[in-house]
Chain A
Amino acid sequence: MTNDRPSGFANPWFQFVLNIIGVVVYELLLKAGAAASADPSKNWSWIGVNALASPLTWLAIAVIVVDLVIWLYILKYIPLSIAFPLSRTVDVLVPISCWLVLREIISPLRWCGIALVIVGLVIVAKPAAELEERL
């Protein structure tokens, strides 16, 4: 690790937040695109190419490309063993957003899962904070 970490907009942790937002957006777009063009009767549909018939899939691909560039930038500064577990923040953001915005009901089991992910993220965040001190 070197101490040439950029600041401001180029700060890898700021880019990390942008990356997570991108993941939430493209996951939803991908599912919508795949569902809109699904044809499981064809054997070759296992490789997913017929999903390309949906414009939503192409929009998702555009977001993925931007997100990939951001992710590569993040990996330049943060170890994969810290960056990847932390990137799973999306797994709590999506259901919590659904609960807050869409008023969807979250079952007690799902709340337990969300709580476990949050505790895990807090524990992983400590090595990330130590890394920040060394940067």
Chain B
Amino acid sequence: MTAVAIFFILLWLITFVTGQLLFKRAMDVSRTVGFRSRRTLSILSGGIVVMTISFCLNLGLLQRFDLSYLYPFQGSSIIIITLCAALILKERLTVRLMIGTLLITAGVVLVSMS
């Protein structure tokens, strides 16, 4: 794998995780100030922009690599999103949830390797 490929895979991962966090934050905010409030819509718009970038990067990667090759990286997004949800969004992270998340990630990596 070239340095360019690693760069674009990491960029895809960062934009994907950021987009998911912005979506969740927007929906949390919408429960207190309403969906049509400026605050909700600005966070949601930010999420859509970041996710659109992530989507285009994903298409570019899919044109160069097999889906099964990219799956381990998609798998790692599970752990990163769960950790970021706990750290940034202050969601409750239990040991049980973390073990389950690790097993799902390991399973996704194994499925893609086989």
In the complex, the answer to whether A120 meets B104 with C-beta atoms within 8 Å is yes
Which parts of B23-59 form the interface with A (CB within 8 Å)? 23-24, 26-27, 30-31, 44, 51, 55-59
In the complex, the answer to whether B59 meets A34 with C-beta atoms within 8 Å is yes
Cα distance A6–B82 in the bound complex, in angstroms: 25
Cα distance A82–B27 in the bound complex, in angstroms: 15
Given contacts A88-B78, A120-B103, whether A51 and B94 have CB atoms under 8 Å apart is no
Instruction: State how many angstroms separate the Cβ of B108 from the closest Cβ of chain A.
Output: 5
* Chain A residues near B56 (CB-CB < 8 A): 47-49
* CB contact between B111 and one of A2, A95, A122, A124 (< 8 Å): that residue: A95
A19, CB-defined interface residue at 8 Å: no
Interface size class of A (residues with CB under 8 A): 35 or more
A25, CB-defined interface residue at 8 Å: no
Which parts of A96-135 form the interface with B (CB within 8 Å)? 106-110, 112-127
A18, CB-defined interface residue at 8 Å: no
A85, CB-defined interface residue at 8 Å: yes
Given contacts A38-B63, A116-B103, whether A46 and B24 have CB atoms under 8 Å apart is no
Residues of B in contact (CB 8 Å), total 53
Total A-B contacts with CB atoms under 8 angstroms apart = 173
* Chain B residues near A127 (CB-CB < 8 A): 94, 96-97, 100
In the complex, the answer to whether A124 meets B104 with C-beta atoms within 8 Å is yes
In the complex, the answer to whether A117 meets B64 with C-beta atoms within 8 Å is no
In the complex, the answer to whether A34 meets B63 with C-beta atoms within 8 Å is yes
Cα distance A80–B92 in the bound complex, in angstroms: 10
Instruction: State how many angstroms separate the Cβ of A63 from the closest Cβ of chain B.
Output: 12
In the complex, the answer to whether B111 meets A91 with C-beta atoms within 8 Å is yes
Given contacts A84-B20, A88-B78, whether A79 and B85 have CB atoms under 8 Å apart is yes
Given contacts A48-B62, A81-B86, whether A117 and B107 have CB atoms under 8 Å apart is yes
* CB contact between A84 and one of B62, B67, B82, B106 (< 8 Å): that residue: B82
Given contacts A123-B99, A124-B101, whether A116 and B85 have CB atoms under 8 Å apart is no
Cα distance A109–B89 in the bound complex, in angstroms: 36
A-B contact pairs, 14 of them (CB 8 A): A34-B62, A35-B62, A46-B60, A47-B57, A48-B57, A79-B91, A80-B85, A91-B71, A91-B107, A108-B114, A109-B113, A114-B107, A120-B100, A121-B104
